[in-house]
Amino acid sequence: MFKKFEMERFQSLYENEVKYNLSDSGNHPMSINQLFNEEEVKALLDMEIFYGYSKGDPRLCEAVSMWYPEKTSDNILITNGSAEANFVMATTLIQPEDEVVLVLPNYMQIPGIVENIGAKIINTYLKEELDWHIDMDEMRSLVTPKTKLISICNPSNPTGAVMSDSEMEELAEIARQNNAFVHSDEVYRGSELNNIETKSFANFYEKTIISCGLSKSFAHPGLRIGWVVADSSLIADMWSRKDYSSITSSVLSQEIAIKIMSETNKEKILSRSSVMLESNLQLFQTWLDKHDGLFSFVPPKAGGMAFVGYQMDINSTEYAHKLRTEQSVLIVPGDHYGMDSYLRFGIGSEANYLSEGLSLVSDSIQSLGY
C-alpha cells in the first residue's frame, strides 16, 4: 500500500486556509525588490522563459559548489526544491530489500519514499534527554555491512539540534567501517542562532550525499530551487532519473537563485535568518514560560521551528485540527513524526504575526482547562 506523506499533505491542505500558519519551518520570505536593483529587475522582465539547463545553470552549479569544500559543478544537480533532491537521491540509490538506517524524527519524506520502494527500514530516534542528539552507541549497534544508507537531517527537523564536528566524525567512521552511504539533509544549514555555521557532512565522509535548497535558511521557498551534492558519477545517475520527473527547474527561479547564492548576498540572507530566529526564539520562550509546567522544550540551535512536548490530555493531531478550526492557527502535530504529545511550531515568521498566533494558541489551551 502506498505510504502517503502525511505532514506534507496536512500542510498542503490547510496552510493557505488559516489566518496564522505556524506550521512552516522556514524563515519569512524576501521580495524581488529586496534582492534586485531597478536595472536588474528590468533584466528579469526582459528574460525569455526557455527550458534552460536540465542539470542546472552552470553559473548556479558553480555558486552552489562554493559552499562545499573541494566540490565543483560536476558534483551539483539542481532540483525543484530539496524535496526533489531527496526523491532523486532515494530512487537512484535504494533498491527493494536494501537496508536503510533512518535517524528520526526528521522531515519524514525519506522514510515514506524508502517504505514505498520496499527497502528494509531500521529506525533510531533522537532523544530529548540527550538534547535531541544521536545515541551513537545505538547507531553503532544498528549499522552493519548490510546497511546501504544512513539518512540524517542536520540541523535537525523538527528539533533544531545541530551535530558537533566530533559527532559527525564518529558517524562518518561508523559508515566508513560498513561501507555505507550517508545522506545528509542540510536544508537548515546556515540558520544557526549563534551564527556559527554548521559544517556540511561532506567535509567528513567521502560517500556523503547532500540535499539542500533555498526554502528554509535562504528564505525563498517559492522559487522551488534545491540541489544534490554527491560524487559526479552519482550525480549523473540522479540526473537521468530527473529526466522522468521535472526535467528542469525554472530559468527565472535559477536566475534569482544565482543572485541569492553570490557570496555577498548569501552571507546577508543567512545573517538575516539568524538574527530573526534568535529574536523570535526569545519571544517563543517568553510565551512558553506563561504556561509553566505544561511544556517540555529543548531550544533549537538552528532552523525556524520549535519542537515541544506537552502535558495536555489530547492527541496531537486532534489538537492541531481543533486549533485550526477554532482559532485559524496551523501547527504540525507530533503524530506526523510518530511522536504523539509533541507539537512543532514555526518561529520564522515576522514577530507580530508569531505573537498574534501564539496568543490564539493560549486561548485554545485555556479552553481545554489548562
Which of the four pLDDT bands, split at 50, 70 and 90, describes residue 74? very high
Domain with CATH 3.90.1150.10 in the chain: 6-30+266-367
Question: pLDDT band at 1, cuts 50/70/90?
Answer: confident
State the average pLDDT over residues 61-77.
97
**Residue 286, C-alpha cell as written in the block:** 517568553
Angle at CA 123, nearest 5°, toward 153 and 221? Answer: 25
Pinpoint the residues of the chain covered by CATH 3.40.640.10. Answer: 49-261
* 209 backbone dihedrals φ, ψ, rounded to 5°: -120, 120
Determine the Cα–Cα distance for residues 165 and 200; give it in Å rounded to an integer. Answer: 10
Q: What average pLDDT does the segment 248-258 reach? A: 97
The tens digit of pLDDT for each residue in 337-351 reads 999 999 999 999 999
Give the pLDDT confidence score for residue 62 in this predicted structure: 98
- Residue 252, pLDDT > 90, answer yes
For residue 19, what pLDDT band results from cuts at 50, 70 and 90? very high
The span from the CA of 142 to the CA of 52, in Å, is 44
pTM of the full predicted structure? Answer: 0.96
* Domain range 6-30+266-367, CATH architecture: Alpha-Beta Complex (3.90)
Per-residue 3-state assignment (H helix, E strand, C coil) for the chain: CCCCCHHHHHHHHHCCCCCEECCCCCCCCCCHHHHCCHHHHHHHHCCCCCCCCCCCCHHHHHHHHCCCCCCCHHHEEEECHHHHHHHHHHHHHCCCCCEEEEEECCCCHHHHHHHHHCCEEEEEECEHHHCCECCHHHHHHHCCCCEEEEEEECCCCCCCCCCCHHHHHHHHHHHHHCCCEEEEECCCCCCECCCCCCCCHHHCCCCEEEEEECCCCCCCHHHCCEEEECCHHHHHHHHHHHCCCCCCCCHHHHHHHHHHCCHHHHHHHHHHHHHHHHHHHHHHHHHHHCCCCCEEECCCCECCEEEEEECCCCCHHHHHHHHHHHHCEECEEHHHHCCCCEEEEECCCCHHHHHHHHHHHHHHHHHCCC
pLDDT tens digits for range 151-190: 999 999 999 999 999 999 999 999 999 999 999 999 999 9
49-261, which class in CATH?
alpha beta
Residue 85: C-alpha distances to residues 49, 55, 263, 334, 358 (Å): 23, 12, 23, 25, 33
292-336 residue pLDDT tens: 999 999 999 999 999 999 999 999 999 999 999 999 999 999 999
Comparing C-alpha atoms, which of 21, 7, 247, 219 is closest to residue 110?
Answer: 7
User: What's the average model confidence in pLDDT over 6-28?
Assistant: 96
Within a 10 A sphere around the Cβ of 359, how many other Cβ atoms?
13
Strand partners, 103: 124
Angle at 241 between CA 239 and CA 244, to 5 degrees: 115
Quick one: pLDDT at residue 362?
98
Q: Measured between alpha carbons, how far is residue 102 from residues 3, 112, 122, 126, 144 in Å?
A: 16, 11, 6, 10, 13
End-to-end CA distance of the chain: 40
How many whole angstroms separate alpha carbon 16 and alpha carbon 20?
9
Pair 302, 160: CB distance under 8 Å: yes
